[in-house]
A and B are shown apart, each in its own frame.
Chain A
Amino acid sequence: MARILLVEDDELVRDMLVQVLQRASHTVISAADGEEASEILKKEHPDIMITDIIMPKKSGITLISEVINRHPAMEIIAISGGGRLDPMGYLDLSESLGAAVSFEKPIDNAALLMAIDLLVHGKHETSA
């Protein structure tokens, strides 16, 4: 099972996702924005980072480009609620920056869990 850093500014969504991920036997560390996530990443080394895109302080886009440079082995999943500008544009951008998968909220959690399994599995296979 994976160690996951969850970055999400909406408290309800964050709490719900922490529970969903823990139920699937993942270990979850959570952060409320990009800045908090950067702090956590100084000490922790999760396998996967799931990050929202539109967040205060530091956006998901900035966070993703940072992580790609500093932690190239970490898998990234981008999630966004759409609106503001063009949500698909943001998700496309995060994928071209290096996110492995992206989801538009509301997300089908079964699909999200499956994507996590595939990423972790793929990683073990390549490292084995």
Chain B
Amino acid sequence: MAMVALAGFACGLVPALFFWQEAKRRQQALNIMAASFQQEIADRAETEESRKKLEKALLQGQKLQAIGTLAGGIAHDFNNILYAIMGYVEMAEEDLPKESPMSRNLAKVLQGAKRGQELVSRILAFSRRQHHDLQILDLREALEGALDLLRPTIPASVTVQTDFAEGSYPIHGNQTLLHQIMVNLVTNAVDAMEGEGTIHVTLDRIPANHLLLADLPEAPGGYCRIRVSDTGHGMDRATQERIFEPFFTTKEPGRGTGLGLSTVHSLVAEHHGEIMVDSTPLHGTTFTLLLPLHSEITKKGENSYGQNTVG
């Protein structure tokens, strides 16, 4: 009797054990799926957020263009005003005995006017949107060159780490302008860290169909992405929204003109690219630059980069 009961119990136990194991396996599979869904949702949310940032960056570009035009108009009038001031002061100086207190003070007026002159010429340089020669170059080499030149100017207490993904990065660019972009970004990073911390520079490719590029002009070969991150004091949202505006600076008077990042913005635009900023107060800032990869050469078959797999 006991045997039968035991056998019956065993018969029931085996399938039960089997089902229990199967259920556990399915539960695990579901857990994995849920995790991967969560990851995908997070990824999409992140991409969506980046896209929104990019949209904002594009709007910002239009705003900067308008400011540039305005600055050009103001600069013309300002040069006239400064010229009148300087001319009158020079005549007054001529009429006064040299070394008189009045003459010394007039020399200071002249000094001030000359500072004004320098500022106007910087505004003009910004608003003129000069047309520089762009040629096909390898962005990776250009970046390495810029960083080599920059290294001696970076304090020893700041570490520069680079992480460049393999491959070639042909772009339509200007070495000098790219250098200028990197100088501004790296100098800002050093300032933001008050001379101590780590600057991370990365380079990789974003494929053409990536959601992040939805609002950018089409580039068949996709885009290059440069990221310059620092471990500095970061900035709040309000500051982030204004950093590309000319004359906006958080540096103390005399230390920054507020033209560095607006210049970077216009130089990136000259490369038909976009720049975005992402920052967390107290944790650091990341600038992301997207520059279109040059793919015409590979299409025409004049492949000079040894990448026959493209196109």
A residues apposed to B, CB below 8 Å: 10, 12-13, 15-17, 19-20, 23, 54, 81-87, 104-107, 109
Instruction: Check B73–A83 contact: CB distance below 8 A.
Output: yes
Name the B residues within 8 Å of A16 (CB-CB): 83-84, 87-88, 91
- The residue in chain A whose Cβ has the minimal distance to the Cβ of B69 is A84
B residues apposed to A, CB below 8 Å: 72-84, 86-88, 90-91, 94, 113, 117, 120, 124, 127-128
Instruction: Check B84–A81 contact: CB distance below 8 A.
Output: no
Instruction: Check A82–B124 contact: CB distance below 8 A.
Output: yes
Most buried by A among B76, B78, B83: B83
Sample of 23 A–B contacts (CB below 8 Å): A12-B80, A12-B81, A17-B87, A19-B87, A20-B91, A81-B76, A81-B78, A81-B79, A81-B80, A83-B74, A83-B75, A83-B76, A83-B77, A83-B79, A83-B124, A84-B73, A87-B76, A87-B124, A105-B79, A106-B83, A106-B113, A107-B83, A109-B87
- Given A83-B76, A83-B77; A13-B91 close (CB under 8 Å): no
Q: Which of B72, B74, B80, B128 contacts A13 (CB 8 A)?
A: B80
Name the A residues within 8 Å of B127 (CB-CB): 83
CB proximity of A112 to chain B, nearest CB, Å = 10
Instruction: Check A106–B77 contact: CB distance below 8 A.
Output: no
Instruction: Check A106–B88 contact: CB distance below 8 A.
Output: no
Q: Is the interface of B mostly helix, strand, loop or mixed?
A: helix
- The residue in chain B whose Cβ has the minimal distance to the Cβ of A104 is B79
Name the B residues within 8 Å of A86 (CB-CB): 128
Q: Which of A10, A15, A85, A109 contacts B80 (CB 8 A)?
A: A10
Instruction: Check B83–A105 contact: CB distance below 8 A.
Output: yes
Name the B residues within 8 Å of A106 (CB-CB): 79, 82-83, 86, 113, 117
CB proximity of B71 to chain A, nearest CB, Å = 8
A13 to B85, CA, bound (A): 9
- The residue in chain B whose Cβ has the minimal distance to the Cβ of A16 is B87
- The residue in chain B whose Cβ has the minimal distance to the Cβ of A20 is B87
- The residue in chain B whose Cβ has the minimal distance to the Cβ of A83 is B76
- Given A19-B91, A87-B124, A106-B113; A81-B83 close (CB under 8 Å): yes
- The residue in chain B whose Cβ has the minimal distance to the Cβ of A9 is B80
3 nearest interchain CB pairs?
A: A83-B76, A81-B79, A106-B83
CB proximity of B310 to chain A, nearest CB, Å = 39
Name the B residues within 8 Å of A13 (CB-CB): 80, 83-84, 87
A51 to B164, CA, bound (A): 55
CB proximity of B130 to chain A, nearest CB, Å = 9
A42 to B38, CA, bound (A): 84
